[in-house]
Structure 1
C-alpha cells in the first residue's frame, strides 16, 4: 500500500517536473531526452568492447582484423561519451535558466501575496521550504534523479537479456544484495527531510544574524550597547543546534555507506566464485564471456541500485517540488475575489465607514481591535491617537486593506471595500508608514516608487518635503544611490533625511487619500512644524488620516479618534475632547507638562 502510494506520488512529482521544464525552458526537456539515450548506451558499448576484444585474442584473430573492431568500439564509446558530456553541459546551462525563472516565480508570488498571510508563521515556513528547491539545488537533483531512473531502466532491460543467458540464481543473489543496500538508503532518506524541516527555523535565525551583521542601523546599536559578545553567544548556540542536526545526517550516511560497502564486497565474492567455477570447473564459459558477464553483474547491481535509490530520492526530493507548488498555489484575496469586482467610484471625494470592525492577528486569541465603528466624511482630517498597543497600526492596516476584518466591514462611499480590486483600492492612498523603507536604488527611484518620472512633480515633492538642500549637495543629485549596495558613492541618509524622502514619495504619488503614520517622528521641531503646515495645504481637498503619539500635532484635525486597548474610547475635535476632560485630555496634559516644566 505504501509502495503504491509512493509510486503514484512519484508519478505526480514527475509530471509536475515535466510541466515546470515545459513552461520555463522546453529545450531542457529535449536535451535531457537525448542525453538519456546517449548515457544508456555507454555500459553496453564498454561491455561488448571487452567481450569482443578478449574473444578475438582467445581465437588468435589477425591483428589487422582486431584493430578495426577495437577502435570501432572505442570510437563509438568516445562519440557517445562526448555527446553525453555536451548534452550535460547544455542541460547545466538551461538548468540555470529554469532556476532563475523559478526564483522569479517565487519572488513574484511573494510580492503578490497578502500582507496578512506574511504575518502567518506557517506561510513563512511554506515560503522558505519552497525556496529550497533553488537554494539547495533540489530541482536539479529531482531532474537528475529522473534522468538516472529512466537511463538505468533502459540499461536494466538490456542487462536482464544478457544475464538470463547464464543462470537465474545469479540474478536473484544480485537483486537481494541491491535490495539490502536500498533498504538502508531508504531508511536514511526517510529522516533526511524530517531533519531538514527541523533545521529550517534555525537556519532562518542564522540568516537573521547575517542580516544584523550587514545592516548599518544594527551595527550602530550593537557597538553602542556592546552587544557583540552576547550576539556571538546566541549565534553559537544556534549553530550548535544546527550541528547536532547535521551530525544525525552524517551518522545516518556513514552507517549506510558501511553497509553498502560490505554488501558490494559480498557481491564481488559471489560473482567471482560462481563465474570462476563456470570457467575452471564446469568448462561452460569462455574467458571472454566471463569478463562480459562479470561486467554485466556489476552494471546490473548499479542499475537496480540506482533505480531503487533514485525512486526513493524522487519521493524525498519530490516533496520539495510539492513545497514549491503548494506555495505557488496559495490563494490571495485577489484570487478569492474572482472577477466579479466593482469599479472604483469616479470621485475626487471619498468617505469611509467602519461598521463594527474587529480584528485578530493569525494564531492569536486576543483581538487587536474590537467593535470599532465610526464614519469619516469626504475631505475630513482625522487624527488617530492612543498609547502603544492601543490598535492604531492595526486600524491603519485595515484601512489600507493590508489585512481583512475578522468581523464587521469597512465601507468606501457606502460599498464594502472587499468588492473592489485590492490593488486599485490601495492606489487611492499616499502613505508614510511608521516603519517606512527606502530601497537601495537611486533617490529618484525612491521618490517615484519606480514609476515613470514626471520631472515637475518630482521637483515639487522634493521641495515640499524639505529634502531639496540635501539632494542639491550631492554630485549626482536625485540619481545618487542610497547606501553602498549598487554604488560606492552612494549616500547614507540620516533618520530625518530618510523620513523626508519617504514623505516626498507620498507627495509625488499625490493620491486622493493620505495616511500618515508618525510622518515626522525623526524630524526636528522646526521641520516638523513646516511639514505639518505644508500637509495642511496639500491635503486641503483630500481625506487624511494622521496616526501620531504627539498630541500637539492634532490641533488642525477636524476630529480625533482616541483608541484604548483596541477599542474606541473617544471621538471629537481637540477642543471638544479637552472640554470633556476624559482620556484624551489626560494624555494631552501628560505630554504638555514636560513642556511646562521645561519652560
Structure 2
C-alpha cells in the first residue's frame, strides 16, 4: 500500500513538473515575441554583444594563468620584465574593449526595456479599453487583470534577460570545454557527474521546496500590504483620518504581519540551512577537482598558473550552474503571469458599432440579466417603455436593478435574455447615450481636456468650451484662473483642486459636450452631495436637457416630483410607475420611501420641503 501511495505521489509530482516546464517554455517564447515586436534591432544587437562579451571570460581565465606564471618565471629568472609588461598591456587593451562593449550592452538593454514597457503598456491599455464589460464584473477575471497590470511587465523583462542568458551559456560552455580539455578526461567526466547530481538534482529540489514555501506566504503578504497602504490615496486617507481608524487599521495590520512574520522566520531558518547546505554541495565537485589538479601540477603536467586559472574556472562553472538553476526556478514561478497576460489579451472584445444616434421610444421586453458568480437575477423579465423626450426618475432600494437596467441600455453587454427594441426591431443605443455615474471621473487634465473627453474626436473652440461652462455655472470660476480653460486640475503638474460640487458640474459639462446624444443617463451622480444640493444639480440638468430623454437614477427622491414619470424598481422588475401624486395615492414602495425621506428636504420656512418649491419653479 505504501509503495502504491509513493508511486502515485511521484507521478503527480512528475506531471506537475512537466506542466511547469511546458508553461515556462511557452512563457519564454511569448516574451521573445514581445521583445522582437518592441525593438527587433536592439534585441538582436543586445544578443550579439552579450555573446561577444563571453570572450571576456576566456580573457580573464587566460590572464589569471598568465600573470601567475609570469610572476613565478620572473622570480625564478625564466623570463624578462619587458615581455611580461607587453603581455599585461595586451590584456589591459582587451579589457578596455570589453568595458566598451559593456557600456554598449547597458545602453542597448535600457533601450530595449523602455521599448518593451511602451509596447506592453500600449497594447494592454488598448486591450483593456476594448474588452467586454463582464470581465470587470467577474471576480476571477478582474483579479487576473490586476495581476497582469502589476506583475506581467516585470516578468516579461526578466524572461527576456533569461533568454539572453540561456543563449550565452552555449559560448560559455565552449570556453569551459576548451580549458577542461587540458585536464584528465576521466576526472572531468567525474566532475560533471558530481555537478549534475549535487547541483542540479539535490540542490534544485531544495530550492524548489523553498519556492513553494514562499508561495504559501503570499496570501498573508497581500493582506498585510493592503492594510499597510490603507491610507495611501487622498480619498481613503480622508475617511481614515476622519473616522480615527489609525488604531483599528493598525491592529489589523499587526495581526497579518504577525502571521506573516512567524512563517517568514521559519522560511528564513530553512533558507539559511538550505543555502549553507547548497553551498557545501556546490563546493564538493570544486574541491575534488582542485585536489586532483594540485597532484597534476606536482607531477609537472601543468604550471602553477594553471591552478589559479582552474580555481577561477570552477568558480565560473559553479556560478553558471547556479544562474541556470535560479533562472529556471524564477521562470517557472513567473510563467503564471505570462499565462495570465496571454489570457487577458485573448479576452473577447466589445462590439463597436457605427450606428447613427437613435431618436424614438425604447422598449425593454422580458429582459433578464444575472451578474457573473451571482445567484440572484439582477433583472427578471423586465418590461419597460421609455418614451422619447421623457424625463424619468428611476428609483428603488439598493440592489433593485436600477443601474443594471441602464448598463444594458448603454450596451455595455449583450449577454442578456430578452430584447431592447424600438417597438418592432432591435435597437443599439451605444452611440445615443451620454451618462454621469455615481463615481464619475475626476480627470487630472486641463479643464479643456476634461470637456473634450465627453466628445472624443471633436476639436472644440474656446468659445464652445466657454459656452458649455456657462451653462453649468463654471464660467465665472474659470475666468478668474490665470490659465483659464487650460488650467491643470488635480495634484499632477502643479494643478489646482476643485470642490466636489465643481467637479460634478464639470462632469455635467462633459455630458453637454456631445451634441449627438439623444439620451442622458444620470446614475446617482449626486450621491456624495447633501439632498438640497442634489436637487439644485438635478434642476440645472432638467433646464438644459431640452428635448433629450433623461433618466434620473437615485434612491433619494428629492427631485422625483418634477419628473414626467417615476419608475420604481424592486427585485429586478418594475414594481410601480406613474407621477408623484399617483404613486402617493397607491401608498406602495414609493410612498413609503418618500415619507421616510421627506424630512431630509424640509426647511424651517417650508415645513413641506423644498421639493415642492422646486417643483413649482
Hey, what's the Cα distance between the residues in 2 that align with 1:240 and 1:476?
Answer: 52
Superposed CA deviations along residues 485-544 of structure 1, whole A, max 9, x for unmatched, are: 3216x1331x32222222222122232110012345566777655654553443332222
1:10-33 deviation digits (Å, cap 9, x = unpaired): 443332222111111223312321
Asked whether 1:42 is paired with 2:56, we answer yes
Is the Cα–Cα contact under 8 Å of residues 379 and 543 in structure 1 kept in the other structure?
Answer: yes
> What is the aligned partner in structure 2 of residue 570 from structure 1?
576
Compute the displacement of 1:333 (Å).
2.9
Does 1:361 pair with 2:371? yes
Structure 1 counterpart of 2:446? 442
Residues 11/593 of structure 1: CA separation in 2 closer, same or farther (3 Å cut):
closer
Runs of 4+ in 1 over 6 A off after TM superposition: 524-527
1:202-241 correspondence to structure 2 within 5 Å: 202-203=221-222, 206=225, 210=229, 212-215=231-234, 217-241=235-259
Taking the aligned partners of 1:219 and 1:312, their CA distance within structure 2 comes to: 39
Change (3 A) 1:405 1:141: closer
- 1:337 corresponds in structure 2 to none
CA positional deviation for 1:433? 1.3
2:54 is paired with a residue whose SS is: helix
Partner Cα distance (2:23, 2:100) in 1: 35
Distance 1:507 1:106 in 2: 31
Residues 1:155 and 1:552: Cα distance change in structure 2 (over 3 Å) = closer
Could you say what secondary structure the match of 1:426 adopts? coil
Shift of 1:386: 1.0
Contact 1:381–1:544 (CA under 8 A) maintained in structure 2 = yes
Residues 1:266 and 2:266 aligned together: no
507-516 or 261-270: which moved more? Answer: 261-270
Report the Cα distance in structure 1 between the residues aligned to 2:231 and 2:278, rounded to whole angstroms. 44
| 2:10 alignment counterpart | none
C-alpha contact (below 8 Å) 2:583/2:591 kept by paired residues:
yes
Note the C-alpha offset of 1:369. 2.2
Once the two structures are superposed, the pairs formed by residues 2-401 of structure 1 within 5 Å of their partners are: 8-53=22-67, 60-133=78-151, 137-165=154-182, 166-177=184-195, 179-183=197-201, 184-189=203-208, 192=211, 195=214, 199=218, 202-203=221-222, 206=225, 210=229, 212-215=231-234, 217-243=235-261, 247=265, 250-251=268-269, 253-280=271-298, 282-334=299-351, 343-344=354-355, 346=356, 349-401=359-411
User: For 1:333, what is the secondary structure of its paired residue?
Assistant: coil
Is the contact between residue 49 and residue 105 of structure 2 (CA under 8 Å) also seen in structure 1?
yes
Tell me the distance in 2 between the aligned counterparts of 1:139 and 1:197.
Answer: 23
1:206-262 deviations in Å (ceiling 9; x for gaps): 3576363431x4344333332222122223334445545655664454333212321
- Aligned-partner Cα distance in 2 for 1:364–1:179: 53
Query: 2:225 and 2:412 mapped to 1: Cα distance?
Result: 29
Are positions 1:487 and 2:498 aligned together?
A: no
Q: 1:35 to 1:246 in 2, by over 3 A?
A: farther
- Bigger drift between 530-539 and 264-273 goes to 530-539
Q: 1:103-143 CA deviation, whole Å, 9 max, x = no partner?
A: 333333333333332232222321232234467x3333222
How far apart are residue 563 of structure 1 and its match? 0.9
Describe the SS at the equivalent of 1:395. Answer: helix
Q: Structure 1: how far apart are the matches of 2:417 and 2:270?
A: 51
Aligned to 1:507: 512
1:287–1:536 distance in 2 versus 1, CA, 3 Å: closer
Alpha-carbon distance in 2 for matches of 1:443, 1:472? 12
1:463-478 correspondence to structure 2 within 5 Å: 463-478=470-485
Q: CA RMSD in A?
A: 3.4
Q: What is the CA distance between 1:384 and its match in structure 2?
A: 0.9
Deviates more, 1:387-396 or 1:220-229: 220-229
| 8 Å contact kept, 1:383–1:554 | yes
Query: Which whole-Å CA distance do the structure 2 matches of 1:347 and 1:324 have between them?
Result: 36
Q: Report what 2:502 is aligned to.
A: 497
Give the superposition deviation at 1:575.
4.2
Q: For residue 193 of structure 1, report the CA deviation from its aligned partner.
A: 7.1
Q: CA deviation at 1:199?
A: 2.5
CA distance in 2: counterparts of 1:253 and 1:435, whole angstroms: 47
How far apart are the structure 2 equivalents of 1:106 and 1:551? 41
Whole-Å Cα distance in 2 between the matches of residues 529 and 53 of structure 1? 89
Name the SS of the counterpart of 1:363 in structure 2: coil
- Structure 2 residue runs of 5 or longer lacking an equivalent are 1-13, 609-617
2:548 paired with 1:542? yes
Q: 1:279 to 1:532 in 2, by over 3 A?
A: closer
CA 1:273–1:598: 2 relative to 1, 3 Å: same
* Alpha-carbon distance in structure 2 between the residues aligned to 1:482 and 1:342: 33
- Structure 1 residue 453 and structure 2 residue 471: aligned? no
Greater mean deviation of Cα atoms: 18-27 or 501-510: 501-510
> How far off its partner does 1:545 sit?
1.1
Matches within 5 A, 1:520-535: 520-521=526-527, 531-535=537-541
Please say if 1:407 is aligned against 2:411: no
Structure 1 unaligned blocks of 5 or more: 335-340
Q: TM-score, normalised by structure 1?
A: 0.85
Q: Deviation per CA, 1:325-359, whole angstroms, max 9, x where unpaired?
A: 2222222333xxxxxx7641x46513322222222
Deviation at 1:570, TM superposition (A): 1.7
User: Could you say if the C-alpha distance between residues 286 and 496 of structure 1 is closer, same or farther in structure 2, counting changes exceeding 3 Å?
Assistant: closer
User: Is contact 1:349-1:542 (8 Å) kept?
Assistant: no
* Number of residue-to-residue matches in the alignment: 581
The 3 A distance-change label for structure 1 pair 193 and 319 is farther
